[in-house]
A and B are shown apart, each in its own frame.
Chain A
Amino acid sequence: MNTRIPLLLTFSLLVAAAAPLALAQKTPAAPDPAVVEEMDEYASVPISDPLERMNRAIFKFNDGLYTYALRPISKGYVAVVPKAGRDGIENFFNNLLYPVRVVNCTLQGKFSRAGLETGKFAVNTVAGLGGFIRVSDDVPAFASLPREDTGQTLGVWHIGPGPYLVLPLFGPGTVRDTVGMFGDRYLSPLNWDIQQNVEWYNWKVRTGVDVVNGVQRLPGTFKTLDAVRKDALDPYIAVRSSYFQYREAAVKQ
């Protein structure tokens, strides 16, 4: 502690000596270091967006697609299917994604969480009528399990997010999460080839299931998107910033 005092004094003297010189040179006002230090926690994380022009174009295209095609479908779904039904369908599809969660928990070394996911799946499938009722909410250990996916696993493995990528229809993402999306598709039972064992699960049924799954996700997706972009000065940047923060928080979770 005592050795700090001479250092501080020396530093103060240097600063005092340098001050008139700086004034004489009329250098432009630099940000106050104390203020900069205090604000560092919010310093913009460098986001790699080398394809910004293309991304912005796809962002605009998606806007049109959402406004003229998908939002009307979403509104129709909300109008036709009562809330209890929508919740049940959402719960069912979320429950079905158990392999995605449990495999990624395991790949991330979160073995106890993988066990909890298994318990949650068992409870919801058995007591929740195949997953339509999320009875796991009544079990404190199962109630707040964060979602896990392959993109997060790659992040936990210290693979950086890579450039920002806006995909047609799918929206914001990164190269890492796009690769992860393929992993999730592979792990999702919806994409497993089970027709050999389940005869009635032909391509017509499978397409129908895919459509219902896609439509049931729309209201939640638009709610999130609207919350981020409404009142934004630059919706593209607002969505990009939110996406990166959200995904980084998910990786750390």
Chain B
Amino acid sequence: MNLRLLKIAVLTAVFSALRLPAAECAADSHEMLKGAVNEVLAIAYDGSAASTPLSQRVRPVLEKYFNFEVITRKAIGPGWSQFTPEQQASAVTLFTEVVIRNYADRFEAGDRPGITYSAEVVPDPKRPIVRDVPTTINYAGKKYSVVYRVEKGAECWRIVDVKIEGVSMIANWRAQLNPLFQHGGAPEVLASLKQNLSNSVAK
């Protein structure tokens, strides 16, 4: 009897472990986004851990909720297919670091911002797996429009772009990376990203 119980316990544990990634996924884009924002804000405004750079502290959360492979691919544009697999992997690693540092820079000491979520929008009916979730950030007496573009992958909804006051993060990077690619191909893009990281200090 005890052996049977043990088997059931082991099987339950194994199935639970196998199901874990799916269970971690939020049911809808709103729920995912709220979870992501709350987790990031909890870290960003936790004064007790302030000795570590914010970019390092938020990295695990951002890696969980942002699809950096898609973000990098879209930021580089059609030239992406001319990158070798090694260059693509390198670009994702470098660009992830650039985006995380850039994101961490947005936070300022002070009151925690208030966030209002609006109804999601399907920007292209042909691609219902892509949604825009408009939010309003109320910070230091000012209101900012921030739209999160989310995309459903194999199982989870993940963030693929952030538009602040109508300015898309990806479109902005595309505008900068495209001339580099046109000029010097993948090596120039990678060199510029490396140079950018070496110039900036993680906050």
A interface with B by C-beta (< 8 Å):
29-32, 35-36, 38-39, 41-45, 87, 134, 137, 143-144, 227-228, 230-234, 237-238, 240-242, 245-246, 248-250, 253
In the complex, A227 Cα to B164 Cα: how many Å? 11
B179 → A minimal CB distance (Å): 7
Q: Let me know if B80 and A35 touch, CB within 8 A.
A: yes
A-B CB contact pairs (8 Å), 11 listed:
A30-B81, A31-B78, A38-B74, A134-B141, A143-B143, A227-B105, A228-B172, A231-B200, A233-B176, A241-B172, A249-B163
Q: Let me know if B79 and A31 touch, CB within 8 A.
A: yes
Of the residues B77, B98, B167, contact of A245 by C-beta under 8 Å: B167
B171 interface residue per 8 A CB criterion: yes
A186 → B minimal CB distance (Å): 26
Q: Let me know if A237 and B73 touch, CB within 8 A.
A: no
In the complex, A215 Cα to B146 Cα: how many Å? 27
A228: chain B residues at CB < 8 Å are 167, 172
Contact of A233 with B79 at beta-carbon distance under 8 Å, contacts A240-B175, A246-B167 already known: no
Contact of A245 with B171 at beta-carbon distance under 8 Å, contacts A43-B77, A233-B192, A238-B176 already known: yes
In the complex, A240 Cα to B180 Cα: how many Å? 16
B106 interface residue per 8 A CB criterion: yes
In the complex, A238 Cα to B78 Cα: how many Å? 20
Q: Which of B75, B167, B180 has the most CB of A within 10 A?
A: B167
Q: Let me know if B98 and A249 touch, CB within 8 A.
A: no
Q: Let me know if B81 and A246 touch, CB within 8 A.
A: no
Q: Let me know if B168 and A245 touch, CB within 8 A.
A: yes
B40 interface residue per 8 A CB criterion: no
Q: Let me know if A241 and B77 touch, CB within 8 A.
A: no
B59 interface residue per 8 A CB criterion: no
Taken residue by residue from 169 to 197, chain B's Cβ proximity to chain A (1 for < 8 Å, 0 otherwise) reads as 01110111111100000000000110010
In the complex, A253 Cα to B134 Cα: how many Å? 13
Q: Let me know if A29 and B165 touch, CB within 8 A.
A: no
Given contacts A31-B80, A31-B81, 5 further A-B pairs with CB under 8 A are A29-B82, A39-B73, A134-B141, A228-B172, A232-B176
In the complex, A124 Cα to B167 Cα: how many Å? 30
Q: Let me know if B168 and A42 touch, CB within 8 A.
A: yes
B116 → A minimal CB distance (Å): 9
B135 interface residue per 8 A CB criterion: no
Q: Let me know if A250 and B81 touch, CB within 8 A.
A: no
Of the residues A31, A227, A230, A234, contact of B82 by C-beta under 8 Å: A31
Q: Let me know if A87 and B165 touch, CB within 8 A.
A: no
Q: Which residue of A lies closest to B172 (CB)?
A: A241
B102 interface residue per 8 A CB criterion: yes
In the complex, A204 Cα to B167 Cα: how many Å? 40
Of the residues B82, B170, B177, contact of A233 by C-beta under 8 Å: B177
Of the residues B77, B105, B166, contact of A39 by C-beta under 8 Å: B77
Q: Let me know if B143 and A250 touch, CB within 8 A.
A: no
B136 interface residue per 8 A CB criterion: yes
B30 interface residue per 8 A CB criterion: no
Q: Let me know if B106 and A227 touch, CB within 8 A.
A: yes
Q: Let me know if A246 and B79 touch, CB within 8 A.
A: no
Q: Let me know if B172 and A32 touch, CB within 8 A.
A: no
In the complex, A117 Cα to B166 Cα: how many Å? 22
In the complex, A98 Cα to B136 Cα: how many Å? 23
B101 interface residue per 8 A CB criterion: yes
Interface residues of B in 118-167 (CB under 8 A from A): 123-124, 136, 141, 143, 163, 165-167
A127 → B minimal CB distance (Å): 17
